[in-house]
Amino acid sequence: MNTGSNHRRWLLALALSICAACDAATATDLSGRVVKIADGDTFTLRADDGALVKVRLAEIDAPEQGQPYGSRSRQALAELVSGEYVRVVVQDIDSYGRTVGRPYAGDVDVCAEMVRSGSAWAYQKHLTDQALLTFEDKAREAKRGLWSLPETDRVPPWQWRWQDRQNPARVADASCAIKGNINSRGERIYHMPGQDNYAATRISESRGERWFCNENEARAAGWRAARS
């Protein structure tokens, strides 16, 4: 029996299995150019194969549109990735069909930078990277970004969404499903079912926001259509 030959074959098999594992890991990466920013933790990527892919940033949660700091969080993400070629390390596909992952713009870890700048929270419910908690603590201590807001305005997005779901004034008539939102600049914008930001838009009637049954009603009340 040729022990040396068997040993070499074993080493070759081991090397091939390692390469296969590397290829499998790489296959979960997604690359392309960012073509649209939805909010502070979601963007659309035109992948290398031409497909449009909606990406939800993993392990962080940014303020919702209509929530204090929501627009500035979106702007912070736009400054990092809008028009940029990025690589996304994919972790999952969420219940909305979005690709969940950690994007990198060159050497910049986008999720970490959003938390470090005070533009998003570490999403503790889905957290695996404990360093994000350290970045959040330092941003809070330095009062960066959303941490400069009054304490009453620093509501974690997951809590904001929960409070919105408890709102008894949510739409009672399914035919009146147009959302009349007021953004942080005071602009009155209505969102139609099926538009990109429809699901993420929350209606707070205590802030003067409301539901509409048709577009004519919304325009007559002073709202304009959301730009798609």
Q: Which residues are catalytic?
A: 56, 64, 98
What would the 3-class secondary structure string for the chain be?
Answer: CCHHHHHHHHHHHHHHHHHHHHHHHHCCEEEEEEEEEEECCEEEEEECCCCEEEEEECCEECCCCCCCCHHHHHHHHHHHHCCCEEEEEEEEECCCCCEEEEEEECCEEHHHHHHHCCCCEECHHHCCCCHHHHHHHHHHHCCCHHHHCCHHHCCCHHHHHHHHHCCCCCCCCCCCCEEEEECCCCCEEEECCCCCCCCCCCCCHHHCCEEECCHHHHHHCCCEECCC
Structural contact between residues 30 and 99, judged by C-beta atoms closer than 8 angstroms? yes
